[in-house]
Structure 1
């Protein structure tokens, strides 16, 4: 492998972010639209009479002493139809790590779009529960490719000073997709033909086509080319996403840092799948420690209960007797959308840890209020108003904290030799727990089963409190660091002290600003620094 060297001083580490470069990085976040829409359309479709007529059956119930026949479907059918998407996505996310290293990040995402479109085709052409389940399983496999590798791609191409905002825009696109799914479902709910649910399902083609075509026009990740030993291509694509000429000192410096870090880690050895679990969870900066953080933070994101609202909001609002459940569902998705952009600023201004800690505390309060009032005053108008207001507040806090921050963290904590595998396993954790929660919710909430109803928010509130504890003791602060510096920081300090960690160059700059110029300040590659420390 050729060597890239840079003579740049430490005062100018990274190129200024141009508008064109920012747009190129931000477009990749459009993948969240596909993810969000596919997750969100099922909530409206499940509540449609036409969907119940095609996929359900007539059921006799007694209302006010009078027997009536209503269209419905079994709890197991609802559970399976919703959760099977997450099962497919779990396996797709796992498999994506291998493909991302072999054929590239961008190509894997495009392939995922193709698989997704096959699944959508099955869903709209065959009208039976087995066909719907198979279609959602295949579509989920494609979403697994996209959701795992897109985070990896954005983290590797985004400039460090706006990386948190760029990756947060992925969560924003997810919320927009969920909102659009709700709006489409709201507009087709009263149709008396299969278009009521086929239209919301078929719209997904648009997002997959736009993403695939757009990615053909975007460059591959420069870190992927470094990993493959193609520094010439790495330099060209890095210059393109930074909006700089190929021979710019900014580009040479950043590429030299990426190369030096990879050279050191390559000496240690390529990380196998089993190697991702090496070192022990309690060992600072070990592979197992990083993987534990990534897997656990995605698990806890699901444990907040957000997908109870996303997947089952319409049917849940129907169960508790609310008027206009489709409209209320759409309002919650609008709150989700308008709240997420707040994180673009706060995640870079305050950091990842504060958002995760205080966001979890705020969600805990909201969910306990909903559960307490709903239990004390069941079937009352006051309880319904409380449910709407505090569910919207809960969504606000999730969308501006845990929603984006969990994705940002898993894109930053893994070193290059295991990054694709680490992100894939972390994303698979998200979808595994997504699947488990999707399966169990109907059995927890439905009458004749667990029958918890609104009391299920006690469960989510307790889990959110656990999220706050986890974030405080385990999650490191990665704001303002390059992906290579994050590795160094996790080796030197604990999560609770990570917010105050600075690079050697930052300390040198501080001494210089105070008039205490150090005798020698050099931008050493990480391998050189560690070698000198060992002697």
Structure 2
């Protein structure tokens, strides 16, 4: 409380500075700018996968062992872990836009360090610094989108973040693929330098997006909050039914959670919030344990196991990145039509199938590579030429795995973890903690996978397949449905301990007014409040006149 109080002055001056710039009011443009942080996340993933198998990279970094390569790749995730934890100390007192600016700054600084790399240590430091920026962006951007978007399209707006990630993976892969044809150090330095561009876009764009109305309301700026909701949802019409409903929802949350200013990370583990915390954190952790990042960071190794070499690997990888992006698009529609639970359950079942299919094919048809013939210490098995149909089947299963992940656990989790909390008090810190869980497991998996490929080869896929089976069970019994529910309804659902498998059909026991009834009620109260405000102003003038006399 004392720290936040001491920051009130600087926070106000910072907000007034940003408010001097004109605000964009189109929610899709706003979400696209904020989700440039997701584009950076995608850039990071494929900026390594396209180079780790090239001669230029291997020679310059002295052929890093599987352990060293794992740490180089994972250093970004380690930085992101610390960035996501630290994000609330910026976004709570200074606003969501401040965290987006911080994200852009660290990302650009890290990209500049990477592009001038001289050795392994500098590359790791650059990736750590860029990771801090990604940690800020991945924690704040989904929350910012859910707080600004109308609830009817909250799934679509929330899904833009993951779409940005997949788009970034694809774009950066093709940039890196082209740069890999450059002889010498320019092959990776140019590609890593290009990463500065999305950071610059986010930095400039943040000056032109509005602050989160829920953040403004929490800090007492009700007039500004109402104006932003009206501008974004109804072209400035404060009497619009959707605007009145949204304002009522914000007031409901703020007035009920009077302790909002005192909420800390420790509160997330109290009895009221512990089930939400476990669900959100485990959702982010399960996303990593699907094994998707194995297919993204280390796709070169996967395809080498299938017997592909050279340009064959990069061409096959590019098809996977295109599929990842394209398949994400229909998921933006599914989230608001089908719901969160069915999508997550179907995705877990499909990924379980394809992980074990890859493991079975490699176990049956691959042969060990003699030590003296290994061009990469990480890849110890390969499918020989006489079993090319099996090799193509492995690639097909990898593609189908990606097509299962992208529209389910890829796009859904970021939205789910931003809305599952149900109130303003816990949302930002809860989302930050859940995102930190994502990043620390991202780090662990990036470290684990190269040694796992080297030592247990195809059995690595059995581990990830087992995780997919476990997450199916967890979702069925413990993940409630949030589709179409107001944020305060989600909080009420938690309070009533509604079983997850009944949550889709659940209706609040304390009836919440219909949209039409609520809009009518709020319109009346809005007029009444304006009348009371005018009377208050008149009384204030009379008191000042009496004091003057």
TM-score range normalised by the length of the shorter chain = 0.7 to 0.9
When residues 336 and 19 of structure 1 are mapped into structure 2, their CA distance, relative to the original with a 3 A threshold, is farther
The Cα shift of 1:268 comes to 8.0
Counterpart in the other structure of 1:413: 420
Counterpart in the other structure of 1:384: 391
**Residues 407-456 of structure 1: CA deviation (Å, up to 9, x unaligned):** 1110101221111100000000000000000001111002xxx1x32332
Counterpart in the other structure of 2:70: 79
Counterpart in the other structure of 1:356: 344
Counterpart in the other structure of 1:118: 109
* SS state at 2:87 partner: helix
Counterpart in the other structure of 1:431: 439
* Structure 1 residue ranges (4+ consecutive) displaced by more than 4 angstroms after TM superposition: 503-510, 521-524
Please point out which of 189, 198, 211 is paired with 2:202.
Answer: 211
Taking the TM superposition and a 5 Å limit, the aligned residue runs for 1:238-387 are 238-250=229-241, 251-266=243-258, 270-279=262-271, 286-323=272-309, 324-378=312-366, 379=383, 380-387=387-394
Q: Report the Cα distance in structure 2 between the residues aligned to 1:252 and 1:337, rounded to whole angstroms.
A: 37
Q: Report the Cα distance in structure 2 between the residues aligned to 1:413 and 1:125, rounded to whole angstroms.
A: 42
Q: Report the Cα distance in structure 2 between the residues aligned to 1:21 and 1:460, rounded to whole angstroms.
A: 37
Q: Report the Cα distance in structure 1 between the residues aligned to 2:49 and 2:420, rounded to whole angstroms.
A: 34
Q: Report the Cα distance in structure 2 between the residues aligned to 1:245 and 1:523, rounded to whole angstroms.
A: 17
The Cα shift of 1:52 comes to 1.1
Moved more, 186-195 or 96-105: 186-195
Moved more, 423-432 or 454-463: 454-463
Q: Report the Cα distance in structure 2 between the residues aligned to 1:505 and 1:105, rounded to whole angstroms.
A: 33
The reply to whether residue 167 of structure 1 matches residue 158 of structure 2 is yes
Please point out which of 143, 146, 149 is paired with 2:140.
Answer: 149
When residues 386 and 19 of structure 1 are mapped into structure 2, their CA distance, relative to the original with a 3 A threshold, is farther
The Cα shift of 1:393 comes to 0.5
Moved more, 214-223 or 187-196: 187-196
* SS state at 2:433 partner: helix
Q: Report the Cα distance in structure 1 between the residues aligned to 2:133 and 2:122, rounded to whole angstroms.
A: 17
| Contact 1:55 1:128 (8 Å CA) reproduced | yes
The alignment's TM-score, normalised by the length of structure 1, stands at: 0.85
Moved more, 363-372 or 217-226: 363-372
The Cα shift of 1:270 comes to 3.0
Q: Report the Cα distance in structure 1 between the residues aligned to 2:87 and 2:246, rounded to whole angstroms.
A: 27
Please point out which of 120, 135, 145 is paired with 2:126.
Answer: 135
**Residues 92-135 of structure 1: CA deviation (Å, up to 9, x unaligned):** 00000121101101111111110111111111113100000011
Q: Report the Cα distance in structure 1 between the residues aligned to 2:248 and 2:513, rounded to whole angstroms.
A: 20
When residues 506 and 325 of structure 1 are mapped into structure 2, their CA distance, relative to the original with a 3 A threshold, is farther
Counterpart in the other structure of 2:85: 94
Aligned residues: 474
Which structure 1 residue ranges, 5 or more long, are not aligned?
Answer: 1-17, 57-71, 280-285, 525-535
The alignment's TM-score, normalised by the length of structure 2, stands at: 0.83
Please point out which of 227, 239, 243 is paired with 1:236.
Answer: 227
**Residues 295-348 of structure 1: CA deviation (Å, up to 9, x unaligned):** 100000000000101111113323543131111111111110011011111111
When residues 207 and 132 of structure 1 are mapped into structure 2, their CA distance, relative to the original with a 3 A threshold, is same
* SS state at 1:321 partner: coil
* SS state at 1:341 partner: helix
The Cα shift of 1:505 comes to 8.9
| Contact 1:235 1:246 (8 Å CA) reproduced | no
The Cα shift of 1:489 comes to 2.0
When residues 126 and 185 of structure 1 are mapped into structure 2, their CA distance, relative to the original with a 3 A threshold, is closer
Counterpart in the other structure of 2:477: 473
Counterpart in the other structure of 1:33: 39
* SS state at 2:402 partner: helix
Taking the TM superposition and a 5 Å limit, the aligned residue runs for 1:520-535 are none
More helix by share: 2
**Residues 65-109 of structure 1: CA deviation (Å, up to 9, x unaligned):** xxxxxxx32122201100111000000000001211011011111
The Cα shift of 1:508 comes to 6.9
| Contact 1:374 1:454 (8 Å CA) reproduced | yes
| Contact 2:155 2:332 (8 Å CA) reproduced | yes
The Cα shift of 1:269 comes to 7.3
Q: Report the Cα distance in structure 2 between the residues aligned to 1:252 and 1:274, rounded to whole angstroms.
A: 34
When residues 209 and 103 of structure 1 are mapped into structure 2, their CA distance, relative to the original with a 3 A threshold, is same
Counterpart in the other structure of 1:178: 169
When residues 479 and 176 of structure 1 are mapped into structure 2, their CA distance, relative to the original with a 3 A threshold, is same
Q: Report the Cα distance in structure 1 between the residues aligned to 2:128 and 2:475, rounded to whole angstroms.
A: 32
* SS state at 1:192 partner: coil
Counterpart in the other structure of 1:45: 51
When residues 224 and 320 of structure 1 are mapped into structure 2, their CA distance, relative to the original with a 3 A threshold, is same
Q: Report the Cα distance in structure 1 between the residues aligned to 2:116 and 2:478, rounded to whole angstroms.
A: 47
| Contact 1:46 1:315 (8 Å CA) reproduced | no
Q: Report the Cα distance in structure 1 between the residues aligned to 2:361 and 2:265, rounded to whole angstroms.
A: 48
| Contact 1:361 1:468 (8 Å CA) reproduced | yes
Q: Report the Cα distance in structure 2 between the residues aligned to 1:271 and 1:19, rounded to whole angstroms.
A: 30
| Contact 2:248 2:522 (8 Å CA) reproduced | no
Counterpart in the other structure of 1:496: 501
When residues 21 and 79 of structure 1 are mapped into structure 2, their CA distance, relative to the original with a 3 A threshold, is closer
